[in-house]
Chain A
Amino acid sequence: AQSVTQPDIHITVSEGASLELRCNYSYGATPYLFWYVQSPGQGLQLLLKYFSGDTLVQGIKGFEAEFKRSQSSFNLRKPSVHWSDAAEYFCAVDPRDSGGGADGLTFGKGTHLIIQP
């Protein structure tokens, strides 16, 4: 079955420290890959996406992610976190074979990021 795994439910990072959030997917082929952020009481905001090409993609708010086909991973990174980065982070995939997105996005369960002062 197709699935998205975010193995870390919670991560605590000190302000100014680096961050890596893990995401693994299980699909027959490389899907479209996304990272979203959700602040309390808010909807989802797209941080970055990978469709093809360069495996290191840059996003908003200083985030980047690296696609590794051999590991079926799409990990999110940030060199130095800010207190405002505290939020819920979701990895999501869209199977390429649906083309127009009619199967919807499949999300992981999310990683709750806590920033220590």
Chain B
Amino acid sequence: ETGVTQSPTHLIKTRGQQVTLRCSSQSGHNTVSWYQQALGQGPQFIFQYYREEENGRGNFPPRFSGLQFPNYSSELNVNALELDDSALYLCASSYLGTGDYNEQFFGPGTRLTVL
């Protein structure tokens, strides 16, 4: 069983640029959530995708957007990068269905540095 993978591992961008981060969900999962973890902080929920649509969103501006593909992989796009966007971005996949709670499994993250 393949776990959650993310690419790239590290990324350096300059203020104002745009960035795309990628996530492959764990086999059998149909839901992907994205989190931002600033240095010294806990992860903060950005949004969740289910069936290729945004299924929930945290307190992040519209310049944070995403996609989910038919194979359940996902992208996180951030436009007009700001210095405060520097963080570890974590992807988590889960299975959303009837019945049991959908436990989330996290990938290793992408470290984004904005200069």
How many pairs of A and B residues are in contact by the CB < 8 Å rule?
Answer: 70
Quick check: A104 and B35 within 8 Å, CB to CB?
yes
Number of B residues, CB within 8 Å of A: 30
Within 8 Å by CB of A44, from B48, B58, B96, B106, lies B106
Q: In the complex the two chains form, what is the Cα distance from A86 to B41 in whole Å?
A: 17
Quick check: A43 and B40 within 8 Å, CB to CB?
no
Interface flags, B35-50, vs A, CB<8A=1, else 0 = 1000011111111101
Quick check: A43 and B4 within 8 Å, CB to CB?
yes
Q: CB-CB < 8 A to B96: which residues of A?
A: 100-101
Quick check: A105 and B104 within 8 Å, CB to CB?
yes
Q: In the complex the two chains form, what is the Cα distance from A42 to B50 in whole Å?
A: 25
Quick check: B40 and A109 within 8 Å, CB to CB?
yes
Q: In the complex the two chains form, what is the Cα distance from A92 to B102 in whole Å?
A: 14
Interface flags, B51-88, vs A, CB<8A=1, else 0 = 00001101000000000000000000000000000000
Q: In the complex the two chains form, what is the Cα distance from A49 to B19 in whole Å?
A: 34
Quick check: B33 and A101 within 8 Å, CB to CB?
yes
Q: Can you report 14 residue pairs joining A to B where beta carbons are below 8 Å apart?
A: A44-B90, A94-B101, A101-B33, A101-B48, A101-B96, A101-B101, A101-B104, A102-B56, A104-B45, A104-B46, A104-B58, A105-B45, A107-B42, A110-B40
User: Footprint of A on B, CB under 8 Å?
Assistant: 4, 31, 33, 35, 40-48, 50, 55-56, 58, 90, 92, 94, 96, 101-109
User: Footprint of B on A, CB under 8 Å?
Assistant: 4, 32, 36, 41-46, 49, 51, 90, 92, 94, 98, 100-110
